[in-house]
């Protein structure tokens, strides 16, 4: 029997790396994971990867013909294949991600920013199937975004297009880890919601169970549960997140006129708490010609291995081209 063609998708995260073998139809044939060892030298990551890769080859054997590897990773430049100044990895200022993975696996390696990879995955395997214009916004520890324009990932002149997390949402607002003030991710990420709770508890007398807690003690999931149970401050923190996100998505609609905007990441687990204010404030800020025409949807892949599938999609796309 002829071996089945497949690619490997790698989702490189700050704590764990997930690695999956994916066929052309998006079926996950095997999934493995290993610690990313972000606080140790990059070579340790490559050792873990090598072990996992050997394990995959041993398990799937001659049934599979591996063609390429797609990688979604933070702070990655798709032109150079390098991670640039990754704040959550102690791997140096410039990390040769693509060449490192290639040296271990002897396969062609294609890397891209994790949010861009999520956008590809949504278009090819998720709710964006058949769409040619869509945006994916990741609402996790930070905020990321990937733009599909005319069926293609929009990467921009320097390979850095789509940093929605660091557009200005509040003039002279909260200091961001990037050094700017008032970035969207300071309000509309899991971290942003936690910060809002902390600030509202300090500056208002709204009733809340989070009063007196430090930022570290405020857990994103607990804030969502408290909001659903009626906690005033928790509700207001989601309202702020959704309002600012909705306003910025109205700008996105004016620039790109997408068919749909997909939300994914940890904050999305809060469901309507984030979805409703985002939709409301986006519509309120749209020019009339756009009203009720761009859908805001929760990603189809949010509970699946969306990041691994997206990385695999990147591999397939590069082979096909
Ligand atoms: Zn920023």
pLDDT at residue number 88: 82
Q: For position 14, what pLDDT does the model report?
A: 84
Whether 248 shows a pLDDT value over 90: the answer reads: yes
- Residue 9's DSSP bridge partners are 20, 70
The 10 Å Cβ neighbour count of residue 174 is: 17
Measured over the CA atoms of residue 11, residue 119, residue 261 and residue 155, the dihedral's sign is: positive
The whole-angstrom separation of Cα 197 and Cα 113 is 30
How many whole angstroms from 296 Cα to the centroid of ligand 1?
23
Query: 95 CA distance to ligand 1 centroid (A)?
Result: 22
Q: What is the pLDDT of residue 105?
A: 96
Task: Please state the rounded mean pLDDT for residues 97-125.
Answer: 95
How far does residue 164's CA lie from ligand 1's centre (Å)? Answer: 9
Helix (H, G, I), strand (E, B) or coil at 151: coil
For residue 182, how far is its CA from the centre of ligand 1 (angstroms)? 7
The segment(s) of the chain belonging to CATH 3.30.420.40 are 4-121+304-320, 131-298
Could you give the dihedral angle defined by the CA atoms of residues 278, 15, 186 and 256, in that order, rounded to the nearest 10 degrees? Answer: -50
For residue 20, give every residue at least 6 positions away whose Cβ sits within 8 Å of its Cβ, in sequence order, or none. Answer: 8, 9, 10, 28, 29, 30, 31, 32, 305, 308, 309, 311, 312
Grouping H, G, I as helix, E, B as strand and the rest as coil, residue 117 is helix
Residue 306 above 90 pLDDT?
no
Query: Predicted confidence band at 141 (pLDDT cuts at 50, 70, 90)?
Result: confident
Total Cβ atoms within 10 A of residue 151:
10
% of the chain exceeding 70 in pLDDT: 100
Query: In this prediction, what percent of the chain has a pLDDT beyond 90?
Result: 87
Q: Which tens digits make up the pLDDT trace of 21-40?
A: 999 999 999 999 999 999 99
Burial of 32 (0-12, 13-18, 19+ CB in 10 A): middle
Residue 170 pLDDT > 80: yes
How far, in Å, is the centroid of ligand 1 from the Cα of 189? 12
- 41-83 pLDDT, tens digit per residue, is 999 999 999 999 999 999 998 889 999 999 999 889 999 999 9
Number of CB atoms found within 10 A of residue 309's CB: 28
CA 284 to chain centre: 26
- Going from the Cα of 120 to the center of ligand 1, the distance in angstroms, rounded, reads 24
Does residue 188 or residue 301 have the better pLDDT?
188
State residue 303 phi and psi, 5-degree precision: -100, 0
d(CA 139, ligand 1 centre) in Å: 14
What is d(CA 116, CA 152) in angstroms, rounded to the nearest whole number? 11
- Is the pLDDT score of 1 beyond 80? no
Q: In sequence order, which residues have a C-beta less than 8 Å from that of residue 61 and are 6 or more positions away? A: none
Kindly report, residue by residue over 64-75, the tens digit of the pLDDT: 999 999 999 988
Please state the rounded mean pLDDT for residues 200-206. 95
> How far does residue 284's CA lie from ligand 1's centre (Å)?
25
Question: How many Å lie between the centroid of ligand 1 and the Cα of residue 186?
Answer: 7
Distance in angstroms (rounded) separating the CA atoms of residues 83 and 48: 18
- Find the mean pLDDT for residues 134-151: 95
pLDDT band at 302 (very low <50, low <70, confident <90, very high): confident
Residues 6+ away with beta carbon under 8 Å from 219? 194
Flag whether pLDDT at 321 surpasses 80: no
pLDDT score at 86: 86
Question: What is the per-residue pLDDT for 101?
Answer: 98
Distance of alpha carbon 305 from alpha carbon 308, whole angstroms? 5
Contact of 213 with 198, CB cutoff 8 Å: yes
Residue 259, pLDDT above cutoff 90: yes
Mean pLDDT of the chain: 94
What pLDDT, on a 0 to 100 scale, did the predictor assign at position 119? 95
Q: The domain 131-298: what is its CATH number?
A: 3.30.420.40
CB atoms within 10 A of CB 161: 16
Q: Are 71 and 101 in contact (CB under 8 A)?
A: yes
CA of 290 to the centre of ligand 1 (A): 28
Write the DSSP symbol of residue 176: P
CATH architecture, domain defined by 4-121+304-320: 2-Layer Sandwich (3.30)
Give the chain's length.
321
20 pLDDT more than 90: yes
Which of 17-21, 104-108, 263-267 shows the lowest mean pLDDT across its residues?
A: 263-267
DSSP 60-85: HGGGEEEEEEEEEETTEETTTTEEES
CB atoms within 10 A of CB 54: 12
Residue 189 binned pLDDT confidence (cut-offs 50, 70, 90): very high
Ramachandran bin of 53, using left for φ above 0, alpha for ψ from -120 to 50, beta for the remaining angles: alpha
| pLDDT of the residue at 178 | 86
């Amino acid at each position: 029997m002829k071996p089945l063609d497949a690619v490997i998708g790698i989702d490189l995260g700050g704590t764990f790396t997930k690695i999956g073998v994916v066929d052309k139809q998006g079926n996950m044939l095997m999934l493995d994971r290993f610690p990313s060892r972000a606080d140790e030298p990059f070579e340790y990551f490559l050792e873990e990867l090598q072990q996992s890769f050997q394990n995959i080859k041993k398990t799937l054997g001659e049934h599979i013909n591996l063609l390429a590897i797609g990688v979604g990773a933070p702070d990655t430049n798709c032109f150079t294949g390098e991670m640039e100044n990754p704040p959550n990895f102690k791997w140096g200022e410039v990390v040769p991600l693509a060449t490192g993975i290639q040296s271990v696996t002897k396969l062609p390696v294609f890397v891209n920013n994790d949010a861009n990879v999520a956008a590809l995955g949504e278009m090819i395997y998720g709710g964006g199937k058949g769409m040619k214009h869509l945006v994916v916004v990741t609402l996790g520890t930070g905020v990321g975004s990937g733009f599909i324009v005319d069926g293609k990932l929009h990467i921009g002149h320097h390979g850095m297009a789509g940093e929605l997390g660091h557009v200005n949402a509040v003039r002279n607002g909260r200091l961001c880890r990037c050094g700017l003030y008032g970035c969207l991710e300071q309000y509309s990420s899991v971290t942003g919601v936690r910060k809002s709770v902390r600030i509202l508890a300090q500056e208002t007398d709204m009733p809340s169970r989070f009063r007196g807690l430090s930022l570290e003690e405020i857990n994103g999931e607990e804030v969502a549960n408290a909001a659903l149970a009626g906690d005033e401050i928790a509700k207001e923190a989601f309202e702020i997140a959704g309002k600012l996100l909705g306003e910025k998505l109205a700008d996105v609609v004016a620039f790109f006129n997408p068919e749909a905007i997909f939300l994914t990441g940890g904050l999305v687990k809060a469901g309507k708490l984030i979805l409703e204010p985002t939709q409301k404030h986006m519509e309120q800020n749209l020019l009339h010609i756009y009203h009720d025409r761009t859908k805001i949807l929760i990603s189809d892949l949010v509970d699946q291995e969306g990041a691994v599938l997206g990385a695999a999609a990147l591999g397939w796309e590069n082979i096909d081209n």
